[in-house]
Amino acid sequence: VNLVRIERLSVHDLAALQFTVELPEELETGSFSNELMEASNSHGIDIAFQKDDLDRWMRRLVVFDMDSTLIQQEVIDELAKFAGVEDEVKKLTEAAMRGELNFFESLKSRVALLKGHNADELFSKVKKNLIFTPGAKKLCSTLRRLGYKMAVISGGFLPVAREVQQYLGLDYAFANTLEVDETTGLLTGQTSGPVVTPQRKRALLATIADVEGCELQQTIAVGDGANDIPMLNAAGLGIAFCAKPKVQAVTEFRINQKDLSTVLFLIGVSEHAAERLAADDKGTTVGGGTARMCCRLCFFSLPGAPFTLLQQQASTSSRRPSALVSGPS
């Protein structure tokens, strides 16, 4: 193995390193990736294995799931809590997110339990109690400074999606709409308009990419539930964030550290570079250094954990790019 470069991506608490290496041409990358996944699971670390080519620098659009991704709650469960039907709804939500229930039928059953409650009052309470995922604001602010377009595509509900859009500065928001009786202002127990199913999430990703004039290969999708799988697999870079086991099993890139800003490492942006971007906006300086854009792969773990990270590097030599390095953090 030829170790080309080691770079530190993190500055503060989170340990994140990037290794650029070349692996032997005869190495079969599929089985190698499976071994890395096993190492990741057994050591409680995240390993990302990417080819170092222009695709990594051509991303232009980032699409997020909302519930348990941008925010820490499931909106339908929060609505149910204030409506007094939390236990019934939560069981259906958990089964749907694990992929055990059809998403459309599960949504229909949950929404029916909200019938007769005042829509404005419920959504007002939910919006006042939103808990954003650590790192969400930092990630979206950095992406915006870098010129990315961003969207939230949620199987939740539009009033909350718009609140999240406004707070994080996103460009698009798509979600379900609960039908409201215009006379009474009460929920009818049904949805209105197209339901954001897993297939619609994938279709909306493609539609936004088309509007923004970019290819699907130039998109990034981040989500946690079974209903995100089609969207994650369609994007150029699909990231399972603190995802259900079924989702992690079918996605190539996974983040299990509960900090959404670690997505920046997977697109080659170091913590120092992100801080410099923020400082430039404020007219201040960070440590007197220069901003660095990390252009290869990264690994991250909690402080004190052992690390294993690899990177695949494009090369014209007879050796196939890839990597694995391990040691103490």
Q: What residues are annotated to the active site?
A: 65, 67
Q: Per-residue b/e over 246-256, b at no fewer than 16 CB within 10 Å?
A: bbbeebebbbb
The helix/strand/coil state of 298 is coil
Which residues fall within 8 angstroms of residue 210, CB to CB, at 6 or more apart? none
Given 3-state DSSP classes, what are the helix, strand and coil percentages for the chain, each rounded to the nearest 5? 40, 25, 35
Nearest partner of 188 among 118, 86, 280, 89, judged by Cα: 118
For residue 193, count other CB atoms closer than 10 A to its CB: 9
Question: Tokens in use for 259?
Answer: 């900090």
H helix intervals, 60-118 = 75-83, 86-97, 103-112
Q: Hey, how many other C-beta atoms are within 10 angstroms of the C-beta on 180?
A: 16
Q: What are phi and psi of 111, to 5 degrees?
A: -65, -35
